[in-house]
Every structure is written in C-alpha cells, then in structure tokens.
Amino acid sequence: GAVVSQHPSRVICKSGTSVKIECRSLDFQATTMFWYRQFPKQSLMLMATSNEGSKATYEQGVEKDKFLINHASLTLSTLTVTSAHPEDSSFYICSASWRGGYEQYFGPGTRLTVT
C-alpha cells in the first residue's frame, strides 16, 4: 500500500515554456501533499505544502507565481513550473500523507531539464 506516482519521470523543455508535473496517490486519500526539490548529492528541500481544496503554503524563498501548485482532489496534486529557465533544472519529488499519519510516501521523482 501507500503508492505514489509521478508523471512524467523525465521532461526536457525549452526556456520560457511551462511544464506540469502530476503527483497521484494510487491507493489512499492524501489529505496533504508536499513538493520537494533535490539538487545533486543533497537532501530534500521542501518547496510547498498543499492540502486538498485549499491554497498551497510555500516555503520561504519559493516563488508561488513561478511554481504553481494545485491540489484539486484527494489523489492528485500538480506542480506547474512557469516560464522555466535553465536554473529550474532539477529533480522534483512529491510526497503524500493522510490526516493523522506521521509518514510521507514519496513519488519516484521527475527530472526536469530546461534548455
């Protein structure tokens, strides 16, 4: 149980375009979803927390207009990187948890490359 999927697993886009990444909880209802960014050989950096049906809470230094997060249902959250630039190239990982649970379950990640 507790399976989280992400799509796409890899994406290459041109500078200035927007990219949408989907995160789905496959076998449970995720009341809260998280989006992380990970740089090579480093730990996870939390970008934002989203609860179903409400606006996402962004961490300090993360531009909410650049990284649009939507959590429209208990099984789906999306991250849209708008007007992507090469410095946005990174590994993006989502996770999901349910109300009252300590654990977060992670998706397999999305490798974004902006050319």
Partner 1 sequence: TQLLEQSPQFLSIQEGENLTVYCNSSSVFSSLQWYRQEPGEGPVLLVTVVTGGEVKKLKRLTFQFGDARKDSSLHITAAQPGDTGLYLCAGGTDSSYKLIFGSGTRLLVRP
The residues of the shown chain that bind partner 1, judged by CB under 8 A, are 2, 4, 6, 32, 34, 41-44, 46, 49, 91, 93, 95, 97, 102-109, 111
Yes or no: say if 42 and 22 are a contact pair by the CB < 8 Å rule.
no
Tell me which residue of 4, 30, 12 sits closest to 94, measured CA to CA.
4
Least distance (Å) from partner 1 to the CB of residue 66? Answer: 21
Specify the residue, 8 or 108, whose C-beta has the smaller distance to partner 1: 108
Specify the residue, 14 or 43, whose C-beta has the smaller distance to partner 1: 43
Least distance (Å) from partner 1 to the CB of residue 50? Answer: 10
Least distance (Å) from partner 1 to the CB of residue 83? Answer: 26
Helices (H), the chain: none
CA angle (2 as vertex; 89, 98 as ends), nearest 5? 90
